[in-house]
A and B are shown apart, each in its own frame.
Chain A
Amino acid sequence: MSRASREAVADTSFLVDWTRYSRRDLLLELFEVVHVPESVLRELKLPPAVDWVAERLASGAFALFTETPEIEGEARRLMALSRGRPLKRVDYPEAVCLAAGLRFGYTVLTENGGAYFAPRVLGLNVTVWRAFEVIVEAWQRGLVEDLVGELRRYEEEALHLFRRRDWEHAWRLTRS
């Protein structure tokens, strides 16, 4: 797992799953600030996502990220680049997060397959984490006691399944 920055930028696909998780505030212990782009915020209308994000914006744990023309241009370049590659297309909200990650060094939080594989397939120098990497990091820092139990809790609460390869990685970590 690559090294994360102390600041992150979250996309909608990550937030809508993560906010269903009862231990969602773990995120605040891993990052000094989580940036939420305006294009992501526009996709949040319902509780618990909109309530949690609004509360964390109010507390200063989250910060509103306003896209600049430079970031928008980079996002559109990444979208075009992803269309020619053998992976899921990267759409605008995720592309904005990748562009912000590239420009400012933020860790990108996403559950979009195109964005997750972008560093390897598009050769981007950016760290991209899913809920899996976030929970593993929380466990490595001692914030979570039982890694396997926590991953199972996340699966149940967010109706989110981790792939076989992720489970094998988790089991290797807990055995070592």
Chain B
Amino acid sequence: MRNLRERNAAHPAGAAPRTEKLYLAARAFNGVSVEEVVEALEEARKLRRERADWEFIEKLPPKLKAALKYYIETGDIYVASRIAGLTVDEFNELRVKARVPSVT
């Protein structure tokens, strides 16, 4: 990994990608495998993005489309269901129709 100074030079304040911000925050904690957490979240996000049926998602009404995009980025089904105005199991049906895998 690059050191903190190199990272800051590459990404001026506030411009670092989310994963890098998470990584920098993660380094503040000792004794836990935080790198593993960040890596797992990134792998899950990548799988959701790659497998999603984007053609189906783009045709949805704005609220449902926004909720699915939120889910793809975060994997957080509870908040995604609130954005969609659905219960969690209703949102899960939508997730399956959009071919977005659940990954933890």
Interface size on B, residues (CB 8 A): 39
Residues of B contacting A165 in the complex (Cβ-Cβ under 8 angstroms): 36, 40
Mask for B32-58, Cβ within 8 A of A = 1, else 0?
111011101101100100010000000
Contact B34 A121, beta carbon cutoff 8 Å: yes
Given A12-B88, A86-B29, A159-B96, residue A116 in contact with residue B76 (CB < 8 A): no
Residues of A contacting B41 in the complex (Cβ-Cβ under 8 angstroms): 87-88, 113
Residues of A contacting B51 in the complex (Cβ-Cβ under 8 angstroms): 161
Mask for A92-114, Cβ within 8 A of B = 1, else 0?
11100000000000000011111
Q: How far is the CA of A98 from the CA of B99 in the complex (A)?
A: 29
Listed stretches A23-31, A38-46, A65-73, A137-145; interface member: A38-46
Given A16-B77, A164-B43, residue A45 in contact with residue B89 (CB < 8 A): yes
Among B37, B74, B81, B96, contact of A117 (Cβ-Cβ < 8 Å):
B37
Given A16-B88, A120-B32, A121-B29, residue A112 in contact with residue B99 (CB < 8 A): no
In the complex, chain A residues 135-163 whose Cβ is within 8 Å of any chain B Cβ: 155, 158-163
Interface size on A, residues (CB 8 A): 42
16 further A-B contacts with Cβ under 8 Å, apart from A43-B78, A162-B103, are A16-B92, A17-B92, A17-B102, A43-B81, A43-B88, A44-B87, A45-B87, A91-B79, A93-B78, A93-B88, A111-B102, A117-B40, A121-B34, A159-B95, A159-B101, A164-B43
Identify the 9 closest CB pairs spanning chains A and B, nearest first. A43-B88, A86-B26, A16-B92, A86-B25, A161-B101, A12-B88, A160-B102, A91-B78, A111-B104
Binding site for A on B (CB under 8 A): 22-23, 25-26, 28-29, 32-34, 36-38, 40-41, 43-44, 47, 51, 74-79, 81, 87-90, 92-93, 95-96, 99-104
